[in-house]
C-alpha cells in the first residue's frame, strides 16, 4: 500500500522516507525500532548524583533562555518535585520555552546535583508520563523526527497493509510463534519488555529461516548440477607438482585431490578452500587451473586488488615458463588498446589462463571456453560478483579461496552451499610470529627492534590507519610517520609510503621496489591487507592497533612470517585492550576468530561488510546462533519434504535463485 494513504504524510516526507528505503506502508512497518526508551517516572528525587533519574515535576517559574553563543543556549526554570524544589537546566532546548508554562506537569530525565540543588536535564517531556512508557526509537534521516514515525506507524497500523509471513505454518505452530502481524505490532507498540522479546525471537527466526533456505536450496541444486565432462592426464599434473620448489603439505595435497576429483566428476565443482593467511592456498588453485587447462579449457583467477592480481600473474609466469601455456593479466588500469588485445585473445581462445581483478566482470570479457573460475579472497566479493564471473562459462567449475578465519561452525553454516577443503597446517618450517603489544611510550624499544631486523637485511611493514590529517591527535599520519622513521634512522634506511589515494601505477612502482628489497620500511594504510607476498619481510608494526578487529590484525600480521626467518609483529596502542592480548597468545586464525566473535560479534568477522550477503535486520549470528542452527534444521526438512512447493513465497524465491544461478 502506498505511503500517501497515511494521513498527514506529505510529498516531502515521502521523499525523506525514500532516503531510508521506505517506499510503501509495508516498508514502513518493517522499519523496526533500533532501540527502546523505557521511562518509568518517580515522583521523588533521589540524592544520588551518579544515576540518571526520571521524575515528574510541576513548573514553578517561567523558563529563561540565555545564549552563550550562537547555537548554544541554556533554558532554566524552577520546578517542584514531590519532596523538593529544584532549579532545572537543559542545553539547546530554547524551543521548548513556550511549552513550559507555570503549573504544568512535565517529566524530567537527567541527573540531580545535591550540592547546588540543581537538576541537569538531558530530556524533558512536556506532557508528563503518568504510567510506565516504552518509546520505540527509529533510525532517522534529515527532516524526520522520531515522533513522525510514531504517528505514521500508528496510522499505518490501522490500515490494511499486507504482511508476508515467511515462517511456514508447521513451524509457526510448533514454536507457538506470534503471527507476523502481531509481532510487528508488538515491536512498534510494546506494552512490556517481554512483548518485545517474543516479537524479536520470531522475527529473527524468520530472517534466519529465509537466509538458510537460500543457502540450502542452492546447495541442493548444486549437488544436482552437471559440470563439464573432461579428461586430462593426471601424471602431467603430478609431474608439475613434483617440479615445485617445495613439497605440498598434507592438507594442500588433500585440497588438490578433492579439486581434481571435482574436475573429473560429472558434477559441477563448487568448492571453497579455507585456510589461514600463508597456508598456501594459491598453489592449490594453480595446480587445479593447470589441470583444467590440460583438459582443454580456459582458467580464470579473480583477485580483489591489482597489486595482488599482478603478483599472482608474475608468479604464474615463472611457474609455467617451461610449459607452453599462455597467461594474460587483465586489470582496470591497463591501457584501452592493451586491454582490447587481451580481450580478443581470450575470445579467440589463444589464452589459457587469465588473471585479473573485477575488471574481468566489467569489461566485455567473452571467454572461448571457460572451464574453471577461481575467486581469491572470496569474502571480498559479493555473491553477485562471483556468480557473474561463473556465468561467463558454460557449466564452468568454481573454486573459492578464503582466508577469512571464521569459526568452523559458522563456516559450515554460512558456506553451507559449498564443499569445503580446509588447510589447517601451514607449510613446514614456518615459525610462529612473535607478537607484542606495546604502548607508544615504548616506541624506542620498537625502533631498536626494527633496526635489528634491518641490520639482518630484512624488511619491515608499518601500518597506520589513515592518510588524511584529522583532528584526532592520536591518528598517525603516514607521511608524518615516514619523517619520524627517517629521522630515527638518520636517513640510513629507505622508507616508502603506500596509501589508498595513490594511483594503481604509483602503488605498483612502490610495491615492486619493496618486493625487490630496495626499500626497507614500507608504511601504508591497510592496502597491503590482502595476499601480498614479500618473503624477506619479517616485521609488522601496526599503530593504533585498537582500531582494528582481531581478524584484520591477524590478516595483516600474515604478511610477514612467509619464510623460515623468525618474524615479529608489534601492536602499538595506548589503550589497554585485553583484546589485543589474544594475538600475543595465538597464531591460529580460527582460534582468533572465535575469540573475536566472542568479544565483538559478527561485525568485524566478515571484514568490511561490503558484500551485503550477510546483513540482517534483527539477527546477529553470534547472539542468535542457536536459532540459526534450529532454522537450518527446519529448512532442511522443509526442502526435503518438498513442502516449499506449497508456499507461494518460497516457490517465487526458488525461481529467483534458479534464474540467477
Q: Which residues of the shown chain bind ligand ADP in the complex (CB under 6 A)?
A: 246, 248-249, 252, 275, 277-283, 403, 427, 531, 533, 562
Q: What is the rounded distance in angstroms from the CA atom of residue 416 to the CA atom of residue 221?
A: 12
Query: Is position 33 an interface residue for Mg ion (rule: CB under 5 A)?
Result: no
How many residues sit in the footprint of Mg ion (CB under 5 A)? Answer: 1
Among 360, 294, 283, which Cα is nearest to 323's? 294
CA 433 from centroid of its chain's CA atoms: 26
Burial label for 233, CB within 10 Å (0-12, 13-18, 19+), is: exposed
Is the separation of the CB atoms in 293 and 325 below 8 Å? yes
Strand partners, 58: 80, 105
Question: Which one, 250 or 658, has the nearer CB to ligand ADP?
Answer: 250
Q: Does 558 bind Mg ion (CB under 5 A)?
A: no
We find the least distance from the C-beta atom of residue 281 to Mg ion, in angstroms, to be 5
String of DSSP letters for 469-515? --S-TTS-BHHHHHHHHHHHTTT-S-EEEE-TTS-HHHHHHHHHHHH
Residue with cell 508528563: 128
Residue nearest to ligand ADP (CB): 280
> 65: helix, coil or strand?
strand
Sorted by sequence, the CB contacts under 8 Å of residue 407 that are 6+ apart come out as 590, 593, 594, 597
Q: Which one of 252-260, 330-338, 523-531, 564-572 is the stretch in contact with Mg ion (CB under 5 A)?
A: 523-531
- Taking the least distance from each CB to ligand ADP, the nearer of 281 and 595 is 281
DSSP class of residue 363 equals S
The SS3 of residue 280 is coil
CB 31 within 8 A of CB 82: no
- Choose the contact partner of 277 out of ligand ADP, Mg ion, none; CB within 5 to 8 A by kind: ligand ADP
Q: Which is nearer to ligand ADP, 286 or 292 (CB)?
A: 286
Q: Can residue 280 be called a binding residue for Mg ion (CB under 5 A)?
A: no
Residue 570, number of CB atoms within 10 A of its CB = 24
- In the complex, the smallest distance separating the C-beta of residue 278 from ligand ADP, rounded to whole angstroms, is 5
Shortest separation between residue 283's beta carbon and ligand ADP, angstroms: 5
Cβ 376 to Mg ion shortest distance, Å: 6
Name the grid cell of 213: 533456505
Residue 26 or 314: the one with the smaller Cβ distance to Mg ion is: 314
Segment interacting with Mg ion, rule: CB under 5 A, options 95-103, 209-217, 365-373, 524-532: 524-532
Report the helix count and the strand count for the chain, using DSSP H and E.
23, 21
| Binding partner of residue 371 among ligand ADP, Mg ion, none, CB cut-off 5 to 8 Å per kind | none
Coil, strand or helix at 466:
strand
Minimum distance from residue 282 beta carbon to ligand ADP (Å) = 3
| Chain centroid to CA 105 | 48
What does 643 interact with, of Mg ion, ligand ADP, none (CB < 5 to 8 A by kind)?
none
How many angstroms separate the CA atoms of 102 and 275, rounded? 70
Which listed residue (275, 531, 589, 607) binds Mg ion by CB under 5 A? 531
C-alpha–C-alpha distance, residues 289 and 375, integer Å: 12
Nearest residue to Mg ion on Cβ basis: 531
Residue number, 405 or 549, with CB nearest to ligand ADP: 405
Which of 63, 531 has the CB closer to Mg ion? 531
Shortest Å distance, C-beta 431 to Mg ion: 20
Residue 460 binds which entry of ligand ADP, Mg ion, none, with Cβ cut-offs from 5 to 8 Å by kind? none
CB of 305 to ligand ADP, least distance (A): 13
Span near Mg ion by CB under 5 A; candidates 115-123, 287-295, 332-340, 531-539: 531-539
**Residues 6 or more apart whose Cβ sits within 8 Å of residue 635:** 209, 212, 213, 216
Query: Distance between CA atoms of 184 and 601, rounded to whole angstroms?
Result: 26
Grid coordinates given for 118? 540543581
At its nearest, how many Å lie between Mg ion and the CB of residue 422?
Answer: 15
Residue 531 Cβ, how far from Mg ion at the closest point, in Å?
4
Residue number, 58 or 241, with CB nearest to ligand ADP:
241
With binding defined as CB under 5 A, does residue 405 bind Mg ion?
no
Longest dimension (CA), the chain: 95
Element (H, E) at 285: helix 281-294
Of the candidate spans 30-38, 341-349, 528-536, 580-588, the one that interacts with Mg ion by CB under 5 A turns out to be 528-536
Of residues 216 and 534, the one with the C-beta less far from ligand ADP: 534
> Which of 207/529 has CB closer to Mg ion?
529
Stretch that binds Mg ion, among 148-156, 166-174, 350-358, 530-538 (CB under 5 A): 530-538
Minimum distance from CB of 376 to ligand ADP (Å)? 7
Cell of 48: 544520588
CA 284 to mean position of chain CA atoms: 26
Our CB check for Mg ion shows the closer of 495 and 553 to be 553
Are 303 and 357 in contact by the 8 Å Cβ rule? The answer is yes
Cβ 646 to Mg ion shortest distance, Å? 45
Residue 110 binds Mg ion, judged by CB under 5 A: no
For residue 533 the three cell numbers come to 607476498
Residue 246: contacted member of Mg ion, ligand ADP, none (CB under 5 to 8 Å, by partner type) = ligand ADP
Sign of torsion, CA 612 616 622 627? negative
Q: Report residue 569 as a C-alpha cell.
A: 609483529
Nearest distance, CB of residue 252 and ligand ADP, angstroms: 6
Q: Choose between 405 and 531: whose C-beta lies nearer to Mg ion.
A: 531
Decide which of Mg ion, ligand ADP, none touches 279; Cβ closer than 5 to 8 Å per partner kind. Answer: ligand ADP
Residues 319 to 378 in contact with Mg ion, rule: CB under 5 A: none
Stretch that binds Mg ion, among 107-115, 405-413, 480-488, 525-533 (CB under 5 A): 525-533
Give the whole-angstrom CA distance, residue 197 versus residue 506. 54
Instruction: Tell me the C-alpha distance between 565 and 644, whole Å.
Output: 57
> Which residue lies nearer to ligand ADP by CB, 515 or 522?
515
Please state the closest distance from residue 277 (CB atom) to ligand ADP, in A: 4
Q: Which does residue 419 touch among ligand ADP, Mg ion, none (CB within 5 to 8 A, set by kind)?
A: none
Report the nearest approach of ligand ADP to the CB of residue 463 (Å): 17
Sheet containing 327-330, strands listed edge to edge, beginning at the edge strand earlier in sequence: 327-330, 353-356, 298-302, 370-375, 397-402, 270-275, 419-423
Q: List residues binding Mg ion (CB under 5 A).
A: 531
Amino acid at each position: 500500500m502506498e505511503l500517501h494513504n497515511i494521513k498527514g504524510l506529505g510529498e516531502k516526507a515521502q521523499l525523506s522516507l525514500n532516503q531510508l528505503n521506505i517506499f510503501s506502508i509495508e516498508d514502513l512497518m518493517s522499519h523496526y525500532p533500533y532501540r527502546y526508551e523505557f521511562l518509568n517516572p518517580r515522583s521523588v528525587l533521589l540524592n544520588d548524583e551518579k544515576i540518571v533519574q526520571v521524575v515528574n515535576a510541576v513548573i514553578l517559574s517561567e523558563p529563561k533562555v540565555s545564549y552563550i553563543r550562537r547555537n548554544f543556549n541554556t533554558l532554566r526554570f524552577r520546578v517542584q518535585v514531590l519532596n523538593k524544589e529544584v532549579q532545572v537546566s537543559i542545553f539547546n532546548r530554547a524551543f521548548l520555552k513556550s511549552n513550559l508554562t507555570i503549573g504544568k506537569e512535565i517529566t524530567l530525565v537527567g541527573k540531580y546535583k545535591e550540592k547546588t540543588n540543581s537538576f541537569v536535564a538531558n530530556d524533558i517531556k512536556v506532557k508528563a508520563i503518568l504510567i510506565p512508557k516504552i518509546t520505540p526509537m527509529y533510525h532517522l534521516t534529515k527532516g524526520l523526527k522520531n515522533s513522525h514515525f510514531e504517528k505514521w506507524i500508528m496510522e499505518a497500523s490501522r490500515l490494511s497493509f499486507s504482511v508476508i509471513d515467511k515462517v511456514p505454518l508447521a513451524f509457526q505452530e510448533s514454536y507457538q510463534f506470534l503471527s507476523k502481524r502481531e509481532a510487528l505490532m508488538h515491536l512498534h507498540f510494546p506494552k512490556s519488555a517481554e512483548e518485545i522479546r517474543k516479537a524479536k525471537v520470531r522475527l529473527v527466526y524468520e530472517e534466519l529461516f529465509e537466509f538458510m533456505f537460500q543457502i540450502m536450496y542452492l546447495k541442493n541444486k548444486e549437488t544436482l548440477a552437471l559440470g563439464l565432462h573432461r579428461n586430462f592426464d593426471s601424471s602431467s599434473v603430478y609431474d608439475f607438482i613434483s617440479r615445485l620448489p617445495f613439497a605440498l603439505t598434507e592438507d594442500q595435497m588433500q585440497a588438490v585431490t578433492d579439486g581434481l576429483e571435482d574436475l573429473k566428476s560429472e558434477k559441477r565443482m563448487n568448492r571453497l578452500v579455507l585456510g589461514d593467511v600463508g597456508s598456501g592456498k594459491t598453489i592449490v588453485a594453480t595446480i587445479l587451473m593447470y589441470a583444467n587447462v590440460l583438459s582443454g579449457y580456459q582458467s580464470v583467477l579473480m583477485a580483489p586488488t591489482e597489486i595482488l592480481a599482478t603478483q599472482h600473474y608474475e608468479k604464474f609466469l615463472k611457474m609455467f615458463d617451461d610449459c607452453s601455456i599462455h597467461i594474460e593479466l587483465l586489470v582496470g588500469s591497463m591501457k584501452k588498446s592493451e586491454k582490447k588485445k587481451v580481450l580478443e585473445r581470450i575470445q579467440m581462445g589463444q589464452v589459457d589462463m587469465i588473471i585479473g581483478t573485477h575488471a574481468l566482470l566489467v569489461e566485455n570479457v567473452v571467454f572461448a571456453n571457460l572451464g574453471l573460475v577461481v575467486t581469491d579472497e572470496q569474502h571480498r566479493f559479493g555473491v553477485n560478483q562471483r556468480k557473474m564471473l561463473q556465468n561467463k562459462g558454460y557449466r564452468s567449475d568454481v573454486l573459492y579461496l578464503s582466508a577469512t578465519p571464521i569459526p568452523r561452525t559458522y563456516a559450515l553454516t554460512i558456506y553451507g552451499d559449498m564443499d569445503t577443503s580446509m588447510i589447517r597446517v601451514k607449510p613446514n618450517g614456518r615459525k610462529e610470529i612473535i607478537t607484542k603489544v606495546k604502548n607508544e611510550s615504548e616506541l624506542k624499544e620498537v625502533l631498536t627492534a626494527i633496526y635489528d631486523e634491518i641490520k639482518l637485511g630484512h624488511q619491515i611493514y608499518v601500518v597506520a590507519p589513515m592518510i588524511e590529517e584529522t583532528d584526532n591527535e592520536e591518528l598517525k599520519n603516514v607521511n608524518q610517520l615516514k619523517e619520524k622513521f627517517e629521522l630515527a634512522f638518520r636517513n640510513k634506511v629507505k622508507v616508502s609510503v603506500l596509501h589508498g589515494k595513490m594511483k594503481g601505477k604509483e602503488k605498483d612502482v612502490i610495491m615492486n621496489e619493496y618486493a625487490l628489497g630496495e626499500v626497507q620500511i614500507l608504511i601504508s594504510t591497510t592496502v597491503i591487507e590482502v595476499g601480498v607476498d614479500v618473503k624477506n619481510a619479517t616485521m609488522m608494526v601496526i599503530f593504533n592497533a585498537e582500531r582494528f578487529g582481531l581478524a584484520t590484525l591477524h590478516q595483516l600480521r600474515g604478511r610477514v612470517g612467509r619464510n623460515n626467518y623468525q618474524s615479529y609483529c608489534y601492536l602499538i596502542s595506548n589503550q589497554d585492550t585485553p583484546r589485543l592480548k589474544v594475538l600475543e597468545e595465538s597464531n591460529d586464525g580460527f582460534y582468533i576468530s572465535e575469540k573475536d566473535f566472542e568479544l565483538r560479534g559478527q561485525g568485524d568477522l566478515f571484514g568490511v561488510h561490503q558484500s551485503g550477503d550477510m546483513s540482517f535486520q534483527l539477527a546477529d549470528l553470534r547472539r542468535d546462533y542457536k536459532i540459526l542452527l534450529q532454522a537450518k534444521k527446519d529448512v532442511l526438512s522443509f526442502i526435503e519434504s518438498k513442502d516449499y512447493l506449497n508456499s507461494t513465497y518460497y516457490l517465487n524465491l526458488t525461481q529467483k535463485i534458479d534464474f540467477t544461478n
